[in-house]
Amino acid sequence: MTEAALADETARPARSRRQQRIRSLSLFMATLCSCTAVLLAAAMLFYWLTTPAGGLLAAAGLGGVAMDEPGYGLRIAGFLISMLPLGALITGLIFARRCFDAFARGEVFSGETVGWLRAFSVAVITSAILKPIAGALLSLLLSWGAGAAHMSLVLSIGSDTLLALIFAGTVAVMAWVMSEAIAIADENAQFV
C-alpha cells in the first residue's frame, strides 16, 4: 500500500465522524428553525390578543398616551402590521431549514444550498428593514385609536435592527464566497 493510500485510510474515519456531526447538528438546526417559525407566529398572535392597552402603547413607544382597551379589529390590524417583519423572518427560517436539510444530506457546496443561504440572508435583511416601518405604522394605528389629539408617529431603529443587518450581510457575503468557490471548483474540474 502506498503512503498516500495509507494516509487516506487513516483520515477516512475522522472525516466520517465530522460528516456525521455536521449531519446531526444540521438536522437539529433544521428542526429548531421549524419550531421557531411556528412559535414566533403563535407568540405574536397571543401577544396581540392578550396584551392590555398600556402594554401595547408602551411597546409602540407611546407611553404618554392613554386609550381604552382596543377591540379585536384594532388588535387584528396590529397583528397584521407586526407580521410584516416577522413574516419575512419566518420565511428566512424556512430558507434556513432548507439549507440545513441540504447540509444534512451532505450537499455542502451545491448551488441549491448556496441559494437557500442567500435567500435566508435576504429575508433577514428584509425583516430588519421592515421592522422600523412596521413600528411606525403601529404607532400611528395605536395613537389613532387613542384619538386625534394624541396622533403620534414613532420611528425607532435599535441596535437589534443594526445587528440583524450586519449578521444578514455577513451571511450574504459567505453565500457569495461559497458560490465563487463552487464556480472555481467546476472550472478546475473541466481541466482534469
Q: Identify the band that residue 90 occupies on the pLDDT scale cut at 50, 70 and 90.
A: very high
Domain that holds residue 75: 3-191
Please, which contacts does 24-30 make with residues 24 or more away whose CB atoms are closer than 8 Å? Answer: 26/100, 26/101, 26/103, 26/104, 27/100, 27/104, 29/96, 29/97, 29/100, 30/97, 30/100, 30/101, 30/104
Read off the C-alpha cell for 179. 458560490
How many structural domains are present in the chain? 1
Tell me, what's the pLDDT at 83? 98
Between 150 and 104, the higher pLDDT residue = 104
What pTM does this model have?
0.83
Q: What is the Cα–Cα distance from 96 to 121, expressed in whole angstroms?
A: 9
pLDDT digits (tens, 9 = 90+) for 13-56: 777 888 899 999 999 999 999 999 999 999 999 999 999 988 89
Phi/psi of residue 135, nearest 5 degrees? -60, -40
Query: What is the chain written as a DSSP string?
Result: --HHHHHHHHHHHHHHHHHHHHHHHHHHHHHHHHHHHHHHHHHHHHHHHH--HHHHHHHTT-TT---PPP-HHHHHHHHHHHHHHHHHHHHHHHHHHHHHHHHHTT-SS-HHHHHHHHHHHHHHHHHHHHHHHHHHHHHHHHHHHT-GGG--------HHHHHHHHHHHHHHHHHHHHHHHHHHHHHHHHH-
The pLDDT assigned to 34 comes to: 97
Q: What is the pLDDT of residues 107-161, one digit of tens each?
A: 888 889 999 999 999 999 999 999 999 999 999 998 886 665 667 778 888 899 9
What residue type is 20 in one-letter code? Q
Are residues 74 and 145 in contact, defined by beta-carbon separation less than 8 angstroms? Answer: yes
